[in-house]
Amino acid sequence: MIQTIPSLLNTLNKEVEQNKFGSEPSELYEPISYILNLGGKRLRPLFTLLSTSLFTTDLEKAVKPAMAVEVFHNFTLMHDDIMDKAPLRRGKPTVHEKWNTSTAILSGDVMLVKAYDLLMDLEDALIKKGILAFNDCASKVCEGQQMDMNFESKKKVSEAEYIHMISLKTAALLGFSLELGGIIGKTSETNIAFLREAGINIGIGFQLMDDLLDVFGDEEKVGKQKGGDILANKKTYLLIKAYETASPKYLEILKNHFEGNSKTTTNKIKEITAVYNNLNIKEITEKKINSYFDKGLKCLSKVEAPLYKKSILKDFSQKLMNRES
């Protein structure tokens, strides 16, 4: 029987409900349940289940490993929010705001441990391969996060540097999500490589879409403060392209807000958004997003699996190109 996205999502949500991870002390475990139930899209574990489904009909063996990906992802969000001093996550207070920073750090640490527990549900013969791939991915995510923080103190970041950073911080985990499905499905190393590469390219497009939605998205749908990247002086793809294409007039505005001593908030968001509009940054970013999604879909097309199964994964990936949150 072909699994639908809603049925797979329902399976993952039930797994979250049933797996409480722990109970005492409540201050340690309540934040974990809180962030896992904030309404995330479960994109990464869905990718794992869909990838697994290309090679086997037995998806039960993939559910807990897929949840390991989701738990690890939310661990990174919990710690990223601390580093970014973010007030909102999916429209709700972040864990460090609702509890405190120390609790958020410790709860996140437990989530990393629990991710390994879930990966231990892999077949015995696959555990080493799965955990080594996970460790490689987790290291890359941390490397990307450090690069992102390094960029905060750099005056100039190139497009190539930025794409490399998000290929680690964001895209590596999407690549692993698809790779893990291939490992569980015991497919060839060639197929696994194509799946990983597909996930990385889709992940880059996904992060670029995040950059775009931060400025041009609906705050209620996105669930984060609109213009948060602008206020935090984040060197996003949009800002990098603006610096590259700005005339002296717009360059002065950019430098005033990002290199000067500007303390404004609302005016800063309005003025920078106006600069982006005048420089057609939205259209430039959309073109780049589409190019990476196209690369990802081409990699998926090279995976040796039944076309009707690949079409479900392909359709799911294409919907991400048009998301509003």
Q: Is the pLDDT of residue 266 over 80?
A: no
pLDDT score for 18: 87
Residue 246 carries which side chain, given as an amino acid letter?
Answer: A
DSSP 197-224: HHHHHHHHHHHHHHHHHHHHS-HHHH-S
Mean pLDDT (whole number) for 108-136: 97
Report the CATH number at residue 292: 1.10.600.10
Q: Is the pLDDT of residue 1 over 60?
A: no
Length of the chain: 325
In this structure, is residue 137 part of a structural domain? yes
The 3 state secondary structure assigned to 86-143 is CCEECCEECHHHHCCHHHHHHHHHHHHHHHHHHHCCCCHHHHHHHHHHHHHHHHHHHH
Q: Is the pLDDT of residue 265 over 80?
A: no
Mean pLDDT (whole number) for 126-143: 98
pTM above 0.85, yes or no: yes
pLDDT tens digit string along 8-36? 999 999 998 888 888 899 999 999 999 99
pLDDT tens digit string along 145-163? 999 999 988 888 999 999 9
Mean pLDDT, rounded, of the chain? 92
Token pair for residue 67? Answer: 């949840």
Of 38 and 295, more confident? 295
In this structure, is residue 325 part of a structural domain? no
Exposure string for 204-229, b = 16+ CB within 10 A, e = fewer: bbbbbbbbbbbbbbeeeebbbbbbbb
Q: Is the pLDDT of residue 317 over 70?
A: yes
Domain count, the chain: 1
Instruction: Give the pairing type, strands 88-89 and 92-93.
Output: antiparallel
In this structure, is residue 36 part of a structural domain? yes
Distance CA 234, CA 212 (A): 13
Q: Is the pLDDT of residue 261 over 80?
A: no
pLDDT tens digit string along 151-204? 988 888 999 999 999 999 999 999 999 999 999 999 999 999 999 999 999 999
In this structure, is residue 11 part of a structural domain? yes
In this structure, is residue 34 part of a structural domain? yes
What's the domain range around 124?
A: 5-320
pLDDT score for 183: 98
